[in-house]
Amino acid sequence: MSDILGKFNFIETGIKDLFVIEPKVFGDNRGYFMETYNYNDFKEAGLDMVFVQDNQSKSSKGVLRGLHFQVNYPQGKLVRVISGEVFDVGVDMRKDSPTYKKWYGVTLSGDNKKQFYVPPGFAHGFLVLSDEAEFTYKCTDFYHPEDESGIIWNDPVLGIEWPLDGIDQILLSEKDKNLGSL
């Protein structure tokens, strides 16, 4: 089900509070313009949050970041790709949720301009599908390094179907290599 509000299309994923968001893009021969966030439109869609931090990363093909979450200071994240392409995943880690341990994945790219809202209480990760990708996201809480936890990307309990065609090698940080399973 989707709901068009203002300049955004909010697409439900089947997991409560987890949304794919398509901004309306206004383009002509000069280029394009789009809003990537508008508090009023998001609030009208039921996404009433305040962002306190913006982050950006650049990664090469095959880099997989995640699956990360904060334990005591959970962050909601509004993520998008400004160049390149990634497969982005949110995993419901809310133990009282009917969709606990369920995941949803979406391809985000500089071309499709889709965004993904990953709410607090979710693990999050992404795999770079293009030669490189620039990834940016807004957070609803500050990053607390001592509070970070995670789940190994290929956890058999979760069974995430990463699109590995064309990926010769998964590139993980040392921290992500040592993440445990559920």
CA angle 117, 159, 86 (to 5 degrees): 45
Nearest to 21 by CA among 54, 52, 46: 46
C-beta atoms surrounding 141 within 10 Å: 19
Token pair recorded at residue 165: 């065609």
Distance CA 32, CA 37 (A): 16
CA atoms in the 13 A half-sphere facing the CB of 24: 10
Which strand ranges, in their side-by-side order, compose the sheet holding 115-118?
2-5, 8-12, 19-23, 115-118, 77-83, 132-139, 53-60
C-beta atoms surrounding 170 within 10 Å: 15
Point out the catalytic residue in the list 37, 68, 117, 124.
68
Quick check: is 124 catalytic?
no
Point out the catalytic residue in the list 104, 117, 124, 137.
137
Which residue type does 102 have?
K
Task: Please give the positions annotated as active site.
Answer: 68, 137
